[in-house]
Structure 1
């Protein structure tokens, strides 16, 4: 088993203080990541980009974030100050995936996510498949904002204020990349996850919040509380939601209204269908009493676990997570989950 270092940041205070703590504790790593071929964008993009060339786009996203989720815009400012970055540089960390787009970086694979409620404890479990060799950028965040008793436990990569996670109200959120529509300046889905965990107690609350956000790009969110699990697909224009006591999702649209808009390429679609079918089959065989290590056994084998082939431009599994919202626990295997040990984080 690989035992990988796993930074943990606990931040308490107002939004600026949360960002300041995050940035201060990860300052050297975040500056090094930014300086590494511009957050490694120039290692995965076909055409290089520059800070000057990206400046108008970054500013457009910054304004959209500030208008829609001002607390998170303030937190990005704190992150910048703590890490010794400019606000534009800290904003780029949040919108890195949107800068990549999906027409210039063909997607070959991505996350597999499922959720369960019912007889056993509620759970959201997923692989995290990314390009850019981002397993060295993993950080776990615990945030406690002044003025609310709600706390959040989140997985982050390279300065992101959120990626997936759970909160003290018993809500967990995972997500999958789906490809459709025109990506445009707005709230990146990773920040949407954080916004939901900061403000929602239930799946219904989360859906209402998501529908009000001007999302920058298409995604599928998996939402789970103590009663209900759903996936919520967004294609850039509209939402479709389905669920019950068990859901599973990969990287193609499942709702028949959105499927015609899918822009996934044929090879990635085959992978997505295969992973979804395998996930559903394995999940059906998993008892309701299954624990985190049982879920990791499901996630850590092919085809759900995507091995590294040495190409930094290709998505591979850089982590696997099991979220237990009722217990307030995040179980995480960083890197290749078939080779790494489990780290456990609990809301205190």
Structure 2
């Protein structure tokens, strides 16, 4: 029997610090337990030969990232401070929650599978494939102030991961591997910044280009009229605008492909999922509903099954973002077995 994960739903209004306090207060026990579980499970994912990490041992790295976050997005830095206050965490612990993927890196933790994303005007859909058994850390955050609100899918205290805002912009992502990773703005926080500040694909692309991202990623975008993906490799950005976008975990920009660090096994999976998503999307009518898209995301090879190991990525959620209706449809855990939860702005 498959257990459906419990999804926390946090609604908060106000200035950034107040949003963080509300988030931290609502998930106080969960976040404390997560951090106490091998330092947010980092030590369960790192190779056994690596010395276990501790918040104290990571203090210098965390400080460097915190400085970069504060320079690039001071409002999100305030929200992280509020998260710490609400959850009873230290500033370093609250910041560490935003940096887990960067702290893991990609050379010592090879990726085997990851998210499949696609977008049409008004809609963005994707699987969320993660290691660390993070389906017990899922939360949907309904956050904002007077100007703009956003529905954000979050894992383990993240201020951002993917989402949709009241301006009708939907933002998703794919992991791609390349370049040097180091202190900068984590892409998850960059996505939240886009949801807070951008009202269209074009505005999001322009905003993203000005951000110093800490690690390689593809950001997928959709509004009512167009879609795009933006591949980020170091300080370089490549943009593809289209009426329909599909992306998995290898670089598609021609001049990025020879710098792709994805291992051969993961690349095979990525290519297979890309072709399957392209084929399935062509067969799906333009007026297909959320359940049709979630069914597509639940099919192999797009859905990545688990193998029982915490270090291996598997599908821990499937999401459809309806940018026109400002709605997030979520199947938590294995999407084959989970009911759809719907959240609307």
Q: TM-score range by the shorter chain?
A: over 0.9
Note if 1:9 corresponds to 2:10. Answer: yes
Q: Indicate the SS of the match to 1:53.
A: coil
Structure 1: state its 5+ residue gaps: none
Does structure 1 retain, via aligned residues, the 8 Å contact 2:277–2:302?
yes
Deviations 1:27-82 (A, max 9, x none): 00000000000000000001221222211001100111011100000000000000
Mapping for residues 245-260 of structure 1, pairs under 5 Å: 245-260=243-258
Note if 1:74 corresponds to 2:78. Answer: yes
- Give the match for residue 185 of structure 1: 183
- How many pairs are equivalent? 341
- Give the match for residue 162 of structure 2: 164
Mapping for residues 17-96 of structure 1, pairs under 5 Å: 17-46=18-47, 47=50, 48-96=52-100
In the TM superposition, residue 3 of structure 1 has moved relative to its aligned partner by: 4.2
CA RMSD of aligned residues (A): 0.9
Note if 1:127 corresponds to 2:127. Answer: yes
Instruction: Provide the C-alpha distance between the structure 1 equivalents of 2:116 and 2:71, rounded to a whole number of angstroms.
Output: 32
In the TM superposition, residue 4 of structure 1 has moved relative to its aligned partner by: 3.2
Q: Indicate the SS of the match to 2:139.
A: strand
Q: Indicate the SS of the match to 1:174.
A: strand
Instruction: Provide the C-alpha distance between the structure 2 equivalents of 1:185 and 1:113, rounded to a whole number of angstroms.
Output: 26
Deviations 1:209-239 (A, max 9, x none): 1111110000000011111101100111211
- Give the match for residue 141 of structure 2: 141
Q: Indicate the SS of the match to 2:10.
A: strand
- TM score, norm. by length of structure 1: 0.97
- Give the match for residue 345 of structure 1: 343
In the TM superposition, residue 254 of structure 1 has moved relative to its aligned partner by: 0.3
Q: Indicate the SS of the match to 2:57.
A: helix
Q: Indicate the SS of the match to 2:56.
A: helix
In the TM superposition, residue 85 of structure 1 has moved relative to its aligned partner by: 0.2
Instruction: Provide the C-alpha distance between the structure 2 equivalents of 1:287 and 1:296, rounded to a whole number of angstroms.
Output: 14
Instruction: Provide the C-alpha distance between the structure 2 equivalents of 1:42 and 1:328, rounded to a whole number of angstroms.
Output: 38
Does structure 2 retain, via aligned residues, the 8 Å contact 1:323–1:331?
yes
Q: Indicate the SS of the match to 1:52.
A: coil
Instruction: Provide the C-alpha distance between the structure 2 equivalents of 1:15 and 1:266, rounded to a whole number of angstroms.
Output: 42
Does structure 2 retain, via aligned residues, the 8 Å contact 1:176–1:221?
yes
Deviations 1:234-263 (A, max 9, x none): 111211111311010000000101111111
**Equivalent in 193, 196, 199 of residue 195 of structure 1:** 193
Does structure 1 retain, via aligned residues, the 8 Å contact 2:304–2:315?
yes
In the TM superposition, residue 141 of structure 1 has moved relative to its aligned partner by: 0.1
Deviations 1:109-147 (A, max 9, x none): 100000012xxxx110000000000000000000112xx
Mapping for residues 263-302 of structure 1, pairs under 5 Å: 263-302=261-300
Does structure 2 retain, via aligned residues, the 8 Å contact 1:2–1:341?
no
- TM score, norm. by length of structure 2: 0.98
Instruction: Provide the C-alpha distance between the structure 2 equivalents of 1:49 and 1:11, rounded to a whole number of angstroms.
Output: 33
Q: Indicate the SS of the match to 1:72.
A: helix
In the TM superposition, residue 326 of structure 1 has moved relative to its aligned partner by: 0.7
